[in-house]
Amino acid sequence: MGLISPAQLLVWVMRGLAMLLAIPVHESAHAWASAKLGDPTAKNMGRLSLNPMAHFDLLGAVCMIVVGIGWAKPVPVYPQRYKNPKTGMALSAAAGPISNLLLAYLSMMLYKLAYYFLPAGMAAELVLYFLYYMVAINVSLAVFNLLPVPPFDGSRILLLVLPRRLYFQVMQYERQIFIGMFLLLMFGVFDTPLYWLNNGMWSILNHATAFIDRAVYMAAGIAV
């Protein structure tokens, strides 16, 4: 018997495939928002692209596949090019998680449509499995990146409420904070809050796509 079961291998494959879509969308959203706000640096560096290799980070990709949480190469921004640096930083940072939530919403709709309308069989099971991980990976990326801790996107949004001087004092230790955060994640310190945040987002997406369930039940003559 091998060290890796077929079921575990399938999970990793599905996470990897979902990651190939989720991460480029996330990073391209940062680049697009930054360019619209006045800083085309990321766009000029080819980061406004859905090509996964434009955003690939080896360690981040491995972590995403193995544990479901990871990262890509940071998108470079120069906030001094924004008309309002504080607001520009927050908006360009928020663009990534928002794009993942939109992709998760679309994936949940497709999941429900596939669940109700695809004929039963191995192909349908694989499609459903893939769409499930599309929701899971995108929700995880959005929730994880909204944590108000550098270098995650949530820390840039925090600039809106923190005094500028205090914010940049904290950001001087971004690398050290990231290493500490990563170690805490590996030891499971944030497992419980992340679990509740992810579950809460799944519940919101389920309610937001409930119109599909109602339409199917009504078409079948089932009272809801």
Report the catalytic residues. 27
On the question of a cis peptide bond just before residue 85, with omega within 30 degrees of 0, the verdict is no
CA 74 from chain centre, in angstroms, equals: 14
Cα–Cα distance measured from residue 16 to residue 25, given in angstroms and rounded to the nearest whole number:
14
Instruction: Say if residues 22 and 138 touch (Cβ distance below 8 Å).
Output: yes
User: Tokens 């550098």 — which residue?
Assistant: 150
Residue 220 DSSP SS3: coil
Report the chain's C-alpha Rg in angstroms: 19
